[in-house]
C-alpha cells in the first residue's frame, strides 16, 4: 500500500473512528476523556509508521513497505523491528479498510491518561526516544519467547541465572527499556500486561471477528 504520511494518518483515524462508534461504544474499558487521533506518521526504513491513540489503546503502527508481504503470517505473530534506540516486537494485525499491518502496543487500557494532551505527550515521548540512537541499549536484546520457555522449565540454555531472575521480576532492563526511560516524568504508568491485549489488537477489530476464536 503506497500512502503519504498525511493520507496514512487520516486513514487510521477514519477506520478507528468507525471501530469506536460501531464496536467499542459503551464498553467500560474506554477512557471517555480521549478520542481517536494519530501522531508522528512518517516513512521509516521504507515503511510507514506512526502512533495511533484511541480511548482504549495506544499503538505504534507500521504499514508494509514495497517489498513486504505479511499475508502468510498468522495474526498475532510477532516480528522484531529495529529502531535507532533498540529492537521492538510488532504483532501482525488486520482490520477492514487498512488490511495487514503491524502493531506495537504501548498502553492498554488507557485509564491512566487524564486528557488527550496527556496521551499525546506519552506518544511524543516514545517516538523521540525510539528514534534517538543515544538511547540504545548496548546489551544483547532478551529473547522473550526463550525466557518464557526457560521459566516454564521447557528449555535450559546456558544463561546467567541472576540476570534471568532480575528480568523476570522487573528489576532489569529488557528489550523495551528505552520506552520506559522515555516515559518517565510525564506521569504515566506503563501497563505491561493490559487487559485482553491480544483480543483488542487482533481479530476483534476485524469485520469477521464474530467468526474467530482465541
DSSP string spanning 75-115? TT-EEEEEETTEEEEEEEEEETTTEEEEEEEEESS-TT--S
Statement to judge: residues 30 and 111 lie in one domain: yes
Statement to judge: residues 142 and 118 lie in one domain: no
Residue indicated by cell numbers 477489530: 205
Statement to judge: residues 156 and 83 lie in one domain: no
Domain count, the chain: 2
Query: What is the per-residue burial (b if ≥16 Cβ within 10 Å, else e) of 191-203?
Result: beebeebeebbbb
Running DSSP on this structure, what letter comes out for residue 135?
G
Statement to judge: residues 71 and 89 lie in one domain: yes
Statement to judge: residues 194 and 143 lie in one domain: no
Statement to judge: residues 54 and 155 lie in one domain: no
Statement to judge: residues 23 and 129 lie in one domain: yes
Statement to judge: residues 33 and 65 lie in one domain: yes
Statement to judge: residues 131 and 162 lie in one domain: no
Q: Residue 47, by phi and psi: left (phi above 0), alpha (psi -120 to 50) or beta? A: beta
Name 94's Cβ contacts closer than 8 Å, sequence gap at least 6: 75, 100, 101, 206
Domain hosting 152: range is 138-174
Residue indicated by cell numbers 502512533: 51
Statement to judge: residues 184 and 163 lie in one domain: no
Statement to judge: residues 154 and 64 lie in one domain: no
Which pLDDT value is given to residue 196?
Answer: 43
pTM of the entire structure? 0.68
**CB of 3 closer than 8 Å to CB of 15:** no
Judged against a pLDDT cut of 80, whether residue 83 lies above it is answered with: yes
The model's pLDDT over 86-122, given as tens digits with 9 standing for 90+, comes to 999 999 999 999 999 999 999 999 999 999 999 999 9
Of residues 19, 37, 40, 20, the one with CA closest to residue 94 = 19
Q: What is the mean pLDDT of residues 30-44?
A: 97
Amino acid at each position: 500500500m503506497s500512502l503519504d504520511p498525511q493520507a496514512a494518518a487520516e486513514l487510521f483515524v477514519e477506520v478507528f473512528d468507525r471501530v469506536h462508534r460501531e464496536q467499542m461504544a459503551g464498553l467500560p474499558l474506554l477512557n471517555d476523556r480521549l478520542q481517536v487521533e494519530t501522531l508522528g506518521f512518517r516513512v521509516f526504513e521504507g515503511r510507514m509508521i506512526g502512533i495511533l491513540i484511541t480511548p482504549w489503546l495506544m499503538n505504534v503502527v507500521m504499514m508494509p513497505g514495497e517489498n513486504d508481504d505479511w499475508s502468510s503470517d498468522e495474526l498475532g505473530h510477532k516480528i522484531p523491528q529495529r529502531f535507532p534506540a533498540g529492537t521492538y516486537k510488532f504483532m501482525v494485525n488486520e482490520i477492514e479498510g487498512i488490511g495487514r499491518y503491524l502493531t506495537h502496543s504501548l498502553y492498554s487500557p488507557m485509564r491512566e491518561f487524564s486528557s488527550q494532551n496527556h496521551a499525546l505527550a506519552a506518544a511524543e515521548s516514545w517516538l523521540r526516544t525510539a528514534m534517538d540512537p543515544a538511547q540504545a541499549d548496548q546489551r544483547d536484546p532478551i529473547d522473550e519467547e526463550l525466557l518464557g520457555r526457560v521459566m516454564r522449565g521447557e528449555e535450559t540454555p546456558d544463561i546467567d541465572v541472576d540476570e534471568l531472575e532480575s528480568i523476570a521480576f522487573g528489576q532489569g532492563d529488557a528489550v523495551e527499556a528505552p520506552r520506559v526511560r522515555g516515559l518517565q516524568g510525564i506521569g504515566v504508568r506503563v501497563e505491561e500486561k493490559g487487559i485482553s491485549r491480544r483480543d483488542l489488537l487482533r481479530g476483534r477489530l476485524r469485520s469477521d471477528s464474530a467468526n474467530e476464536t482465541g
